[in-house]
Amino acid sequence: MRSLVQDLERKDLRRLIDKVQVPVAAVVIMACNRADYLERTINSVLKYQRPISSRYPVFVSQDGSNSDVKSKALSYDELSYMQHLDFESVKTERPGELIAYYKIASHYKWALDQLFYKHNFSRVIILEDDMEIAPDFFDYFEAMATLLDKDKSIMAVSSWNDNGQKQFVHDPYELYRSDFFPGLGWMLARSTWDELSPKWPKAYWDDWLRLKENHKGRQFIRPEVCRTYNFGEHGSSLGQFFKQYLEPIKLNEVQVDWKSMELSYLFEDKYATHFANNIKKAKPVSGSDIIQKAQSIDGDVRIKYKDQWDFENIAQKFGIFQEWKDGVPRTAYKGVVVFRYQTTRRIFLVGPESLKLLQIEDF
């Protein structure tokens, strides 16, 4: 009898601990007027969130008053609903701009203010209403929360790789630091929001975060293989890049045990050396026929580019993103863009200052 009572007391205590457990992060799904997309996103999130719901409370934040979206969100008991109603007319700063980008920025600021300041969460994971998540999505962010807390040179953690298309990725365990904000499923700490909220932009919030004056030399963690998949062909970006860049993205299917992974190499004081060692092992390739030369090498390959124009030419040949923002190519760390090519082979596109920044002798 005594053992039965003790067992029941243990179970009650465990339930109590679960109830008062401090959440790792709130999860907010940003929505507007796509009820069908929202349903797909919610179902994907809840599939993996239900067993750990106390650690990741889910919110849907709707911008505007679309009744289908509101009723869809309210049909789920497992999440909380927030609604942002802003009836002020939007004045764009340049002719021909889409009002949607102004409304999105305003909604983001409102929702994050609510979650950090009204609900008092210490971290928030931001998703959009056109995303599905990987099986290890929550384990990944739980492991990354420790890094985010300890290393103040990390501005945010993302689940996205811009060059995460099937043909450019291989290793679900590989993580990188990047000078380029990836977005598309990312986690932010309250201390960083305290800094960003007062100066949040009127529009194009993601490109604003990519400006050096705002990230101030801090970096972002990103995986090689994406932990989110963006299925939103129809939206504010009007399907821009969808067929070429978003549709072929590989969503991770491996249940990585992030808690048992050694991740200290990602700390600022260790990462540059770790990354530099990988580049040192790569074989230098140059000339006009770099694709053929790269294909003929079994191991990793290093290709130097002279400037942005040169980078764009090389990137176009391989089929990766050519875009730069404020002097930084997408996914780059110290000017280096890395991706897999056809096999497990890594291609390192190395900028004119990269070797110096990484303290590698030019050889």
Assign 265 to helix, strand or coil: helix
Determine the residue type at 317: K
Phi, psi of 40, rounded to the nearest 5 degrees: -65, -40
Cα dihedral sign, 232-233-237-241: positive
**Is 206 a residue of the active site?**
yes
Cβ atoms < 10 Å from Cβ of 6: 10
Assign 79 to helix, strand or coil: strand
Q: Check if the beta carbon of residue 99 is closer than 8 Å to that of residue 92.
A: yes
Distance CA 31, CA 66 (A): 10
> Alpha helices, DSSP H only, in the chain?
2-20, 35-49, 67-74, 99-113, 137-150, 190-196, 205-209, 212-215, 268-281, 290-295, 308-318, 354-357
Active-site residue (options: 151, 206, 207, 310): 206
Residue 25: which of 116, 101, 124, 94 has the closest Cα? Answer: 124
Q: DSSP of 128-179, one letter per residue?
A: ETTEEE-TTHHHHHHHHHHHHHH-TTEEEEES--TT-BGGG---TT-EEEES
Q: Check if the beta carbon of residue 241 is closer than 8 Å to that of residue 162.
A: no
Which active-site residues does the annotation give? 206
